[in-house]
Amino acid sequence: MSSAKPFPRSACAIANSLDIVGDKWSLLVVRDLLHGKHTYGELANSPEHIPTNILADRLKRLEAAGIIASAPYQQHPVRYSYTLTAKGSALGDVLLALVRWGKRHIPGTMTLSHGPTTAGSAASVPSTRRTRTRAAR
């Protein structure tokens, strides 16, 4: 007997990757962890304002998938610190590819510069594509 689990849709690597990180929030959580955020509060304070119930769900899903690990840093009440596993850190290349694509094909997008002390700071590299401006009314 084979111990491999059947794939939900197909054996396609893209389809199976999207089953894990294909929603609109998971890769943003990974982005923030790559940029030095570690606590629930830091992750909830992202520019996209992820709803707290969705953030809690995504953290559970990402941990179950082996993309992040959690460790308690406070006991009363219990609070967790989140870090990327090697599997999660490998998504950095995926995010970099999305940044390059977005800056090239979506006018006005930019790379947010995050860090442990500069979270939420202004973007460092705006798109080089021109955007249309609306006429003043």
List, in sequence order, the alpha helices (H) in 1-137: 13-21, 26-34, 40-44, 52-64, 86-89, 92-105
Task: Spell out a b/e string for 40-57, using b for 16 or more CB atoms within 10 Å of the CB, else e.
Answer: bebbeebeeebeeeebee
Could you give the CA distance from residue 11 to residue 17 in angstroms, rounded to a whole number? 10
Question: Across residues 110-121, what is the average pLDDT?
Answer: 53
Give yes or no for residue 119 having a pLDDT over 50. Answer: no
Give yes or no for residue 102 having a pLDDT over 70. Answer: yes
The pLDDT tens digits of the residues spanning 11-45 come to 999 999 999 999 999 999 999 999 999 999 999 99
Q: What is the pLDDT of residue 7?
A: 83
- Pair of tokens at residue 96: 């970099």
- Pair of tokens at residue 92: 């950095």
Q: What is the CATH number of domain 13-94?
A: 1.10.10.10
Give yes or no for residue 58 having a pLDDT over 70. Answer: yes
- Pair of tokens at residue 135: 């006429």
Closest CA to 32 of 22, 20, 44, 17: 44
Give yes or no for residue 128 having a pLDDT over 70. Answer: no
What band does 92 get if pLDDT is binned at 50, 70 and 90? Answer: very high
